[in-house]
Structure 1
Amino acid sequence: MSNPQRGSVEFRAIRKNYGGFTAIPNLNLTIEPGQLVTLLGPSGCGKTTTLRMLAGLETPSAGSILIGGQDVTRLPANRRDVTMVFQSYALFPHMSVIENIAYGLESGGMGRSEAKAAADKGLDLVGLGGLGKRLPSELSGGQQQRVAVARALVLEPQVLLLDEPLSNLDARLRRRVRTEIRELQQRLGFTAVYVTHDQDEALAVSDRIIVMNQGEIAQDGSPNALYEAPASEFIADFIGEANVVSGEIWSNDGNRAHLRIGGMETTLPVQGNLAGPVRVALRPNAFTLGAASGLAGRVLSAAYLGDHAEYEIDTELGRLFVVDRSDRALLPSGSQITLGLSGQGVAVVGRS
């Protein structure tokens, strides 16, 4: 009989101490089967410790971890029905690709011919059919990463763990491989827990993003929710770039608020009757340049990046980072400009 909880993950009141230092004070988290959930945050926020506790490589100081409804808190790593893809790939250099993929199956007691057949299917799964006889050194970095994913998937784990899996790849290859991992996860429907410090990577691959800070969950939600409605200045600054400034809500009917920021005004949806001085996150694309009225500024620096221009603009609110995707000519440094708001990329992140 199939287990409806297969692939689910639950952390219950998890605490992790290292001597007198508490890395994770009290973590409660549930991951539904078939989700790709990313743990995101700055160095030292607790995301890697959380992943290692799930893998069985660290033991919680208190609390329980469940996988597929089973308490695995005290089980060793080799009895947890999870596999991990490391940033270093961890492929055996003296073994062929097919031998690398089959290794875990054979170690678990599967016959050699059966393990090879499963490894061949795994290679096909990640688009590397026909390359099984090559050594890892004869593959590109992206191909080696896909071999590492195939080696993990052939074990048919309840949960696939990915620890900074793309950090050793260049920017273009990272984009391609993250797309491949996401498409594979969606096609096969397995549960994945993904750790990264790269915001763009998290936005691109995740069903849910859990932003961690000092061992606690700062915000948990969909990529769109975290980007469009950050819950704090920390989230606004960490998920995508944001200019965090002071503003004022001068009218609020409980659903929509009228917001004044310097000489700029806009209306945005809100919950509750928040009014008066507030802190506001302005995404770089929130501005219009050359407005008839608004916030006066002076261009400090300008850069042309093909499909958009980036500006640093000095204003009464401070130095603002602004992205312009219009077809206007690049404004030279020293130009005087008036900024307005485009109606998007504005979020209230707290009281001032």
Structure 2
Amino acid sequence: MIAKKAGSVVFENVKKTFGAFTAIPDLSLTIEPGTLVTLLGPSGCGKTTTLRMLAGLEHPTAGRILIGGKDVTMLPANERDVSMVFQSYALFPHMSSLDNVAYGLESSGLSRKEAREKAEEGLALVGLAGMGGRLPAELSGGQQQRVAVARALVLEPQVLLLDEPLSNLDARLRRKVRTDIRELQQRLGFTAVYVTHDQDEALAVSDRIIVMKEGVIAQAGAPRELYEAPASSFIADFMGEANVVACEVLGVENGKARVRIAGVEHSVPAGNREKLGAASLAVRPGAVTLSEGRGEGLSGRVLHSAYLGDHVEYEVETDVGTLFIVDHAVDRILPAASDATLGFKTRGIAIIDS
């Protein structure tokens, strides 16, 4: 039922200003029906402004917004066929879960009986069958969030909007609820636009991620593409931590690149890189090998080591700066001030422009 109404979203050269401040200079993007797309970025990057314009809570200064092929640029929020799940849940504390879910249906003209029947279906959809009589205060944070999702879904919107929906949950519950949301979206096939600043959350739930910086799209693509082939040092560091070091690309052959780092040559994945010369290497903390003593490779000195159960975190000083390294070899821990030799694995490394 929801999948049949899943709508596309199109931003055409959208600009948004607040007085003299330009929050969104020129935004064009397309979201395909039935996909979950995440707007990701640091605070102030424009992701929430973009979502609010899509919801009708803000209007563009210029450009067009289309939902399901219909121009909704200047339509009010209640005429856009979208539903929004807020960070705060926004449940009525004096109403039962069932009444919270039924409220929007009754407001749209359904009889109380029909609204409550659909509300019960909605609660069952999110795994809360039989819990309609409970007040929000009698539910856990995760259950309250699912009530908020059910309330949005029963309106059968073309697009479901989620604004930092898990930020009020603890880490373990956040993992559970994000899995629930993703499973529900894939099962029902609705279009969803999801806003978060949490990279792990974005990687876990998205068909596509749009990373924003200062109101523009820094990079867009599938989660794996953004993580394994970042287009810039900003993306590399934002999509999971990365060490960015200067290098020189000496040659590319058979998917491997020969690079020089601080006078030492290494073989690393080339990705789509063909250009030779000065570049940077984005290296994930887990993509560095660490061995004790001096050897063939990049020399370093351990500044700090911390045992964290299944891995050890190191800070190692090298000729290209201090590198953060995650090593799962917990049977031997290199102490501070010890010499070390660093190498690189075949994954978790990307060559980017300087």
Aligned counterpart, 1:342: 345
* Contact 2:5/2:190 (8 A) holds in 1: no
Distance 1:304 1:77 in 2: 51
Aligned counterpart, 1:275: 276
- Could you say what secondary structure the match of 2:59 adopts? coil
2:161 equivalent to 1:151: no
How many residues get paired? 350
Q: Residues 232-283 of structure 1, C-alpha deviation per residue, up to 9 Å, x if partnerless?
A: 1111111100000101111135954212223351132343531122111111
Question: Alpha-carbon deviation of 1:290?
Answer: 1.1
Aligned counterpart, 2:323: 320
* Contact 2:6/2:189 (8 A) holds in 1: no
Aligned partner of 1:329 among 332, 338, 342: 332
- Could you say what secondary structure the match of 1:329 adopts? coil
Distance 2:254 2:340 in 1: 34
Query: 1:113-132 residue pairs with structure 2 within 5 A?
Result: 113-132=113-132
* Contact 2:288/2:345 (8 A) holds in 1: yes
- Could you say what secondary structure the match of 2:148 adopts? helix
* Contact 1:264/1:340 (8 A) holds in 2: no
Aligned counterpart, 2:313: 310
* Contact 2:231/2:352 (8 A) holds in 1: yes
Aligned counterpart, 2:111: 111
* Contact 1:254/1:271 (8 A) holds in 2: no
Distance 2:278 2:114 in 1: 67
2:140 equivalent to 1:140: yes
Distance 2:271 2:171 in 1: 37
Q: Aligned in 2, Cα 1:128/1:100: closer, same or farther, shift over 3 Å?
A: same
Aligned counterpart, 1:63: 63
Letter in 1 for 2:329: S
Aligned counterpart, 1:52: 52
Distance 1:294 1:159 in 2: 52
Distance 2:253 2:4 in 1: 44
Comparing 249-258 and 97-106, the one that deviates more: 249-258
Comparing 340-349 and 159-168, the one that deviates more: 340-349
Distance 1:125 1:343 in 2: 43
Aligned counterpart, 1:90: 90
* Contact 2:210/2:221 (8 A) holds in 1: yes
Comparing 323-332 and 76-85, the one that deviates more: 323-332
2:32 equivalent to 1:32: yes
Query: 1:100-249 residue pairs with structure 2 within 5 A?
Result: 100-249=100-249
Distance 1:96 1:143 in 2: 13
Gap regions ≥5 residues in structure 1: none
TM-score w.r.t. the length of structure 1 is 0.96
Comparing 282-291 and 97-106, the one that deviates more: 282-291
Question: Alpha-carbon deviation of 1:55?
Answer: 0.1
Identical-residue share of aligned pairs (%):
66
